[in-house]
Amino acid sequence: MENCGYTTSNRGRWWLGGACCLLAAMGYAVADGCVRELIERLDSYRLLCFKETLSGIIIGSFGIPLMIYGWRRQYRTTGSGGYAAGRLIGWTLVGAFFCQVPGNFSLLWAYRQVGMAVAGAISLGTTILFAAVLGRVFLKERVSLPTLLGMAVLITSVVLLSVAHSDVESFTSATATQKTERLPSLSEGAAVSTEVNIVHEATLANGGGISVGTVSLWRGILGCVMAILCGLSCAILATVIRYVGNQGAPVWLPAFVVPILGLPATLPVILWQQGFTWAVFDISAADYGVLTVSALCNVVAFVSLCKGIQLTSVVFGNVSGTIRLALVSLVGIFWFHEPGGFLMGTGVVLACLGTVLIGAAPHYGTETFVKTEEIQSDQCGA
């Protein structure tokens, strides 16, 4: 892919992409708050399965018709599109697989070995690093010195916020009769990641309450390796989202495929744990309502994140993961009355500073979006 300069047109796309990433972080923060409300009553795999399935159904109800219409229109006007559509779907399935299987499950296992604070910081930090490497190698996206400085600031912010979250867990465990598990935030998606990312859909994890000090050396090392694997998986998803976007794929494609793949990824684990019984669906109406709100916020967030990555870069898209972590800290303080502190405040400030540094840096590699803008407009403006 050929990289040109940083033009006025690209600057506008970066502003719009940055707004999408910020909207994604806000949506994920609200979704995490809903999950925080449910995690004490539902096991993590059921919670992840229901939320992902609801998100996929909501997006698919309007995203699939839009994609079919766009590709049929492209085929009628250009005589091509079938093979290209199949190839883009295939690449999206690869990215979704990495997010939902090695990404989610490795992070769930890492939580139980080294704790949420350590695993969350490692996975989100490595997502930022791997995203920069993969974007440079496969998408030819240049990483400037201000971007590297912003990445370092963001990783520092992740560490501080994770330590602050660990302190919150200790506080709630000491003051509540029932254990409350504090969720870190990543990007589906990574991701994505996100979780992405991500990032990351892997926020729905059961922490296991294992103290780092009680973990044997080899289990601690393996837990850190699993957290790194999650970071790599989310970075792969973010790179795939950027790539298929450059090739003209509508934003609905990854937004639908990634969450809907969570059903076949998690359902076997649920059936293995609980057996094939209707008790799996034994959830109160109120909890179903909270799940629906969480899924709706997740839909808005993931669609915005996919669009933000397509408009900006893989590195900048993963900024939303850190902003999400900072917003979840504020949600915990104002919604669940959790204690704040110097570390949490410093982490939030550094998250904002890192975002500004990366956003203000000269950007390259966005011109590929210009080449596919007409194709994307044919696909219903996605």
pLDDT in tens, 193-227: 333 333 333 333 333 344 444 457 788 888 889 98
Give the separation between CA 229 and CA 102, rounded to whole angstroms.
7
Angle at 270 between CA 265 and CA 274, to 5 degrees: 165
Length of the chain: 382
- Cβ atoms of 191 and 200 within 8 Å: the answer is yes
339-355 residue pLDDT tens? 767 887 888 888 888 88
In the predicted model, is pLDDT for residue 378 greater than 50? Answer: no
122-169 residue pLDDT tens? 888 889 889 989 999 999 888 888 888 988 898 888 888 877 766 655
Give the separation between CA 110 and CA 101, rounded to whole angstroms.
14
Residues forming beta bridges with residue 192, ordered by sequence position: 198
Average pLDDT over the chain reads 75
What is the structure's pLDDT at 211?
A: 42
Between 48 and 367, the higher pLDDT residue: 48
The radius of gyration of the chain's CA atoms, rounded to the nearest angstrom, is: 20
- What lies within 8 Å, CB to CB, of 71 at 6+ separation is 81, 82, 85, 379
Give the separation between CA 62 and CA 146, rounded to whole angstroms.
40
1-40 residue pLDDT tens? 334 334 445 777 888 988 999 999 899 888 888 877 787 7
Distance of CA 191 to the CA centre of its chain: 4
- Cβ atoms of 98 and 201 within 8 Å: the answer is no
Half-sphere exposure of 271 (CA within 13 A, CB side): 7
In the predicted model, is pLDDT for residue 255 greater than 50? Answer: yes
pLDDT band at 362, cuts 50/70/90? low
pLDDT band at 172, cuts 50/70/90? low
Give the separation between CA 144 and CA 226, rounded to whole angstroms.
29
- Cβ atoms of 125 and 158 within 8 Å: the answer is yes
Q: In b/e form, how buried is each residue of 126-146, taking b as 16+ CB within 10 angstroms?
A: bbbbbbbebbbeebebebeee
Give the separation between CA 159 and CA 72, rounded to whole angstroms.
47
Between 324 and 237, the higher pLDDT residue: 237
pTM for the model: 0.76
Between 2 and 117, the higher pLDDT residue: 117
Neighbours of 175 (CB within 10 A): 9
Helix axes 217-246, 82-98, angle to 10 degrees: 160
pLDDT band at 242, cuts 50/70/90? very high
- What lies within 8 Å, CB to CB, of 58 at 6+ separation is 295, 296, 299
